[in-house]
A and B are shown apart, each in its own frame.
Chain A
Amino acid sequence: MKQIELLNPKVQECIKKRGFTHLSDAQSRAIPLILHGKHLVLIAPTGTGKTESAMFPVFNGLLSLPAGGGFKALYITPLRALNRDILSRMQWWCGELGLTVGVRHGDTPMGERRKQALKPPDLLITTPETLQALFMGKRLRQHLKQVRYVIVDEVHDLAGSKRGAQLSVALERLHVYAGEFQRIGLSATVGNPEEIARFLCGARPCSVVQVPVAKHLEISVKYVGDDFKHQTDVLSKALKREGSTLVFVNTRVTAEALGHALFEHGDVEVHHGSLSKEVRIDAEERFKKGEIRTLICTSSMELGIDIGRVDHVIQFGSPREVARLVQRVGRAGHQLNTISRGTVFATGFDDLLESLVIAKKAKGNEIEPVVLPRNAADVLANQVAAIAVEYGEIERSAILEILERTALFSGCEVLLEDVCHQMEEHRLIRNNGGRIITTARARRYLSSNLSMIHDERKVPVFDMVSRRTVGTLDESFVVGWVHTGAVFITKGQLWRVLDIADGKLTVEPAKKAQGELPSWEGEQIPVPYNVAREAGEIRRKQNISDYTDGHEGIAFAKAFLSEMDKNRSLVPTDDLITLENTEEGVVCNVCAGHKANEALGRVLSILISARYGTTVGLDLDAYRMLLRLPSSIRAADVRDLLLTLEPAHMSGILRLALKRTALFKWKLVQIAKKFGAIDADADYEKISIHRLLDFFDNTVVQQEAYRELLSDYMDVDTAAAIVALIKEEKIRVDLGPHSLIGAGGLLSSRDQIPPPTADHAVIASLKRRLEQDDVVLACMNCRDWKSRTVVSRVPENPQCPKCGARLIAAIKPYDEEQYAMIRKPKKNSEERAVEQRLIKSANIVLSSGKKAVIALSARGVGPENASRILGTQAEGDAFYREILKAERTFIQTHRYWS
């Protein structure tokens, strides 16, 4: 208890009054450091008194400062819900200590805001976005001068995102007013605490206190079958025991489905981000009071919102990441020093192996690192606009000084210059030499761009046939990619776009998967490389009993693998990649995690599209990719590409081809919005957005889209490392029949990669047209047989069924009467000329067969032209290019136009 004695007697008294008998490990280690004025990152599981660890010494400090004059401490959390929670906890303490406290975020009423501007509270609880807004008001800016403490709660959640990057700049903008203030970060367990410290403090020295999490965790994995009905039965049984349970799921859809299935329990509620604030708060309150015993929730409940006592956590389906599992299970046993108990319900083969690996890593404290987004150009643009509004006019060098103090934007001088130049193009600022001047638009821009969260408008998808809304798509996706006639998948069904108007996508059900587009139902939580790889190792070693003693799981995995053996399927593992032919294309089974597969799948798609001139559709998860291909391209072709791929070329290949994909355009629109080029409520209906996006070629906007996609969205280095392992024959590549593993997992299409030049698409359309063309075949030997057919049905060497001759003329359907003409016994000179043409036609069909028929079907191509085309001896695409050339010449002539 001796650390308590370091505190102001008033604070000590409150602690006793509140009923704390002793300090937690986290508290006793953190308090002295904070009292000594050190910057600190405190890493501890939820429920270990993190907030108090930070606030006891902060109260101490606040008591020694003169009353009034401005905000003295800022407490920043990523969620409004957390703000409400912290406020209700802080009100008691501040009341007792004679300090004032307020909360300010998007929901705060105007009256409350005005009060804060006139009489600022000592402690202000806020979000990163509202902190941005504080810099916009003249009076509020003055109040920032008194800030001595900034506490960033759930800092791990912010540090890896652009929201965090924005916050890091805001802290340095605050520094301009307040000078050095003390920084305290509260974080869940991460793999790289030092990075979190750098994020919070830049180059300033920062202490780290870490309370190990593993000894507080007790995690088991239970296989619950792959049938949803059975899964809910097991869950239903598990919920009947004593105490309260949080059930975490990975998607909102699953949350709703489970909520529906468990409705009859009567004490189950659903909690996720799509529900209204009132519904969510109601569910939280009722859970806290014990009126309901089960809450089914998504990541919305991961962060430390206080919902009272949780006895058990169930993770429904693999948690995907170690950090996520630790965080979620950490919600159980919310009393100091008790053990958190959690069960993962595994729902399939991949899911089971993955869950076991993640559970093991959680126990071994192998948490993923947080990757800081460095030099994000859109964050920079956003902050330059904010600073311009804040100061009206400012030297660029002064902005640079602010940025250089952060960890995320050090060395960004050239980038800053590019960003400012680009922003001027969009009239967000003016550059006057080295001076940045705000514009009329900038304040308006800022009020709708306080946040770096992409607040996507959702475009409703309306089915004409059933006359109902079947779902929504992200607007950025719609404007960047969808066009009339496009087909995409959503809700497991194919839809064709009829119309895009009035902010609505009108569709009809489509039957065929032709021209299929990706769907965009929110991004999935990626499975990391080392988790996917270890799951592949279990497949190889078949050592599942090293991971679990759950007999259902062991029995299921054994049965699954023996079924694979029975079908003579190859089992893809960490050192075996298998390729399988399916009706839709080729499945590549690669245990590499989402991000590496995203990179590898895209490189393969690009190479295939370039080599074969076809669009390639791509679906993938952590263990496999489905390349949607025309049936002529087989697994063996993909293997050849994979074996000849150079790891060093992969990044370059991606850069070249990414530009034409839906993913890239989607990102580009989002980033362009942050540069002020596109308003949040822009109306795209009148223009071709595809061509508008070309304006960003070779700009910093495009560069940022590349940076984000190549660093956050996919993992090129790991994909290249896998290809290198293939080259060294440490990973084998084999062909196998379509297997249970190959068929697993994938649900919807993610993206498609078009061929690199229009040439391929044009040739493909020409081939299709000529094949579908009608043609009349007529015997020029007996002159007594003709037949109308389509080019695709013409045999390689047409022959007359009557006389057996191969002297067959190919006549265009609208010239069919010519055959009757030449059969007349007496011909005039014009008719004799027609006869000569038909004989010539028959002669080239005799010598070149079907190829001649194809050439003769082309527009404006008669026997003369056809024999010239055939004379070039061109084959394949080159042959069709000759036809295109002939048609192009024809349509320039008078004959075509009159």
Chain B
Amino acid sequence: MKMEFIGEGPALIIEGRQRMLVVADLHFGIEADLAAHGLHFKSRSESRLERLHKVIDLTKPDELVLLGDIKHSIPSLTWQEHHEMPQILDSLRTRLPLHVFPGNHDIGIERFLHDGEIRPKDGVVLDGVGYLHGHMIPSPALAGHLVVIGHHHPMLSLRDEVGCALQSPAYLRAEIDTFDTGKGPALKNSSPSRILFIPSFNEIAGYDILQIIKKPFSPLSRLMKKENTEIILADGTYIGPLRALITDETD
């Protein structure tokens, strides 16, 4: 298995037998929600989709994994989404096969999908790698595999001696012992897994990594072990262990 980090996305290529392009959290239609929160901007769907097509041109993948939150509005679809989603998905599926892992924002997306495109919400293993959006407990079938998730929109603020010098989307590579959250029925045969949190493709979504650690908002972020979590920038630059950021915090 080989990885390529595509800074222009952010997007990830995972190459085993297949060349998979993975993107998460497109949030098409986010502008309507922004307006409801008092931020008024015209739709950037077009340039966002164009960026995705450029990444496809650049990486020439075999298949495309859409790791959830493809659309934004919940609980119901907006007029904008009704209008845009079929065109967006068509433009992609004419180029390559799609795997859609529905996220918490994807209520009602089924109607825009073709047969065989939708994958289970709690994930599935494709070509040796587990995928899910990341808002729920993964299926036991994913245990022991590398599990790739979206949902968290990780972003890194890097500081130097004097001040904050960089803010950038980033990946988090974490480990967990088991998918067992302590709630619900105990999972048998659950073995340690690597989890890769991938940054949001949407250009304005982003949570500070420290926020994710301090206030975990998903089963997997609650289970992750802080001590051997590592950070990688969107372009694949290795930043190092999370530890360094945390000690920075508490000295």
Determine if chain A interacts with chain B.
Answer: yes
Query: Which residues of A are in contact with B by a Cβ distance under 8 Å?
Result: 425-428, 441, 483-486, 496, 498-499, 511-512, 514-517, 613-617, 628-630, 676-684, 686-688, 690-692, 694-695, 752, 754-755, 758, 760-762, 764-766, 768-769, 772, 859, 884, 887-888, 890-894, 897-898
Contact of B38 among A614, A682, A766 (CB under 8 A): A682
Total contacts A to B, CB within 8 angstroms? 185
Q: How far is the CA of A682 from the CA of B204 in the complex (A)?
A: 16
Q: Does the CB pair A615–B163 fall under 8 Å?
A: yes
Residues in chain B near residue A441, CB distance under 8 A? 40
Instruction: Write the nearest CB–CB distance from A434 to chain B, whole angstroms.
Output: 21
Q: How far is the CA of A496 from the CA of B168 in the complex (A)?
A: 21
Q: How far is the CA of A894 from the CA of B1 in the complex (A)?
A: 5
Q: Does the CB pair B237–A617 fall under 8 Å?
A: no
* A-contacting residues, B118-162, CB 8 Å: 146, 155, 157-162
Question: What is the chain B residue whose CB lies nearest that of A518?
Answer: B163
Q: Does the CB pair B159–A678 fall under 8 Å?
A: no
* A-contacting residues, B206-251, CB 8 Å: 206, 208, 210-211, 214-215, 232-233, 236-241, 244-245, 248-249, 251
Q: How far is the CA of A677 from the CA of B4 in the complex (A)?
A: 37
Q: Does the CB pair A688–B41 fall under 8 Å?
A: no
Interface flags, B9-38, vs A, CB<8A=1, else 0: 000000000000000000000000111011
Interface centre among B3, B164, B237 (most CB of A within 10 A): B164
* A-contacting residues, B33-67, CB 8 Å: 33-35, 37-42, 44
Question: What is the chain A residue whose CB lies nearest that of B235?
Answer: A888
Question: What is the chain A residue whose CB lies nearest that of B37?
Answer: A683
Residues in chain B near residue A613, CB distance under 8 A? 160
Residues in chain B near residue A517, CB distance under 8 A? 163-164
Closest CB pairs A-B (n = 10): A682-B38, A679-B38, A761-B165, A688-B206, A615-B163, A752-B163, A761-B166, A887-B238, A615-B162, A515-B159
Q: Does the CB pair A615–B204 fall under 8 Å?
A: no
Residues in chain A near residue B2, CB distance under 8 A? 892-894
Q: How far is the CA of A752 from the CA of B42 in the complex (A)?
A: 32
Q: How far is the CA of A629 from the CA of B163 in the complex (A)?
A: 10
Q: Does the CB pair B38–A681 fall under 8 Å?
A: yes
Q: Does the CB pair B37–A682 fall under 8 Å?
A: yes
Question: What is the chain B residue whose CB lies nearest that of A513?
Answer: B162
Q: Does the CB pair B204–A772 fall under 8 Å?
A: no
Question: What is the chain A residue whose CB lies nearest that of B14?
Answer: A897
Residues in chain A near residue B206, CB distance under 8 A? 687-688, 690-691
Assess A616 versus B162: contact at CB under 8 Å? Given A679-B39, A893-B2, A897-B3: yes
Contact of B249 among A496, A615, A679 (CB under 8 A): A496
Whether B203 sits at the interface, judged by CB under 8 Å, is yes
Instruction: Write the nearest CB–CB distance from B38 to chain A, whole angstroms.
Output: 3
Instruction: Write the nearest CB–CB distance from A677 to chain B, whole angstroms.
Output: 5
Assess A764 versus B204: contact at CB under 8 Å? Given A677-B41, A758-B166: no
Q: Does the CB pair B249–A485 fall under 8 Å?
A: yes
Q: Does the CB pair A892–B236 fall under 8 Å?
A: yes
Assess A891 versus B162: contact at CB under 8 Å? Given A426-B41, A483-B157, A859-B240: no
Residues in chain A near residue B39, CB distance under 8 A? 677-679, 682, 684, 687, 692
Whether B167 sits at the interface, judged by CB under 8 Å, is yes
Q: How far is the CA of A39 from the CA of B88 in the complex (A)?
A: 63
Whether B93 sits at the interface, judged by CB under 8 Å, is no
Q: How far is the CA of A559 from the CA of B176 in the complex (A)?
A: 69
Q: Does the CB pair A761–B160 fall under 8 Å?
A: yes
Give the size category of B's interface with A.
35 or more
Q: How far is the CA of A495 from the CA of B37 in the complex (A)?
A: 29
Query: Which residues of B are in contact with A by a Cβ distance under 8 Å?
Result: 1-5, 33-35, 37-42, 44, 146, 155, 157-168, 194, 203-206, 208, 210-211, 214-215, 232-233, 236-241, 244-245, 248-249, 251
Interface centre among A499, A688, A752 (most CB of B within 10 A): A688
10 contacts across the A-B interface (CB closer than 8 A) = A485-B157, A485-B159, A679-B39, A686-B33, A691-B203, A755-B160, A762-B158, A762-B239, A892-B5, A897-B3
Assess A897 versus B194: contact at CB under 8 Å? Given A678-B38, A691-B204, A769-B244: yes
Residues in chain B near residue A617, CB distance under 8 A? 162-163
Q: Does the CB pair B160–A426 fall under 8 Å?
A: no
Contact of A884 among B194, B238, B244, B248 (CB under 8 A): B238
Instruction: Write the nearest CB–CB distance from B80 to chain A, whole angstroms.
Output: 13
Residues in chain A near residue B211, CB distance under 8 A? 484, 499
Q: How far is the CA of A663 from the CA of B131 in the complex (A)?
A: 42
Q: Does the CB pair A690–B167 fall under 8 Å?
A: yes
Assess A686 versus B4: contact at CB under 8 Å? Given A483-B164, A762-B239: no
Q: Does the CB pair A614–B161 fall under 8 Å?
A: yes
Q: How far is the CA of A498 from the CA of B33 in the complex (A)?
A: 26
Residues in chain B near residue A516, CB distance under 8 A? 162-163
Beyond known contacts A678-B40, A764-B165: 17 more, CB 8 A cutoff: A426-B42, A427-B35, A428-B40, A484-B210, A484-B211, A484-B214, A485-B157, A515-B159, A615-B165, A683-B38, A687-B204, A688-B167, A760-B165, A765-B158, A891-B232, A894-B2, A897-B194
Residues in chain B near residue A427, CB distance under 8 A? 35, 40, 42
Instruction: Write the nearest CB–CB distance from B244 to chain A, whole angstroms.
Output: 6
Question: What is the chain B residue whose CB lies nearest that of A517?
Answer: B163
Question: What is the chain B residue whose CB lies nearest that of A515?
Answer: B159
Q: How far is the CA of A196 from the CA of B4 in the complex (A)?
A: 64
Q: Does the CB pair B244–A888 fall under 8 Å?
A: no
Residues in chain A near residue B232, CB distance under 8 A? 891
Question: What is the chain B residue whose CB lies nearest that of A760?
Answer: B165
Question: What is the chain B residue whose CB lies nearest that of A441?
Answer: B40
Instruction: Write the nearest CB–CB distance from A647 to chain B, whole angstroms.
Output: 27
Q: How far is the CA of A694 from the CA of B202 in the complex (A)?
A: 13
Question: What is the chain B residue whose CB lies nearest that of A613?
Answer: B160
Q: Does the CB pair B164–A754 fall under 8 Å?
A: yes
Assess A755 versus B165: contact at CB under 8 Å? Given A512-B251, A761-B160: yes
Q: Does the CB pair A765–B240 fall under 8 Å?
A: yes
Q: How far is the CA of A765 from the CA of B232 in the complex (A)?
A: 12
Q: How far is the CA of A679 from the CA of B241 in the complex (A)?
A: 39
Contact of B161 among A496, A615, A887 (CB under 8 A): A615
Q: How far is the CA of A413 from the CA of B5 in the complex (A)?
A: 47
Instruction: Write the nearest CB–CB distance from B99 to chain A, whole angstroms.
Output: 19
Residues in chain A near residue B205, CB distance under 8 A? 687-688
Q: How far is the CA of A441 from the CA of B36 in the complex (A)?
A: 12
Q: How far is the CA of A486 from the CA of B163 in the complex (A)?
A: 8
Residues in chain B near residue A892, CB distance under 8 A? 2-5, 236
Interface centre among B155, B215, B238 (most CB of A within 10 A): B238
Instruction: Write the nearest CB–CB distance from A836 to chain B, whole angstroms.
Output: 27
Residues in chain B near residue A630, CB distance under 8 A? 160-162
Instruction: Write the nearest CB–CB distance from B4 to chain A, whole angstroms.
Output: 6
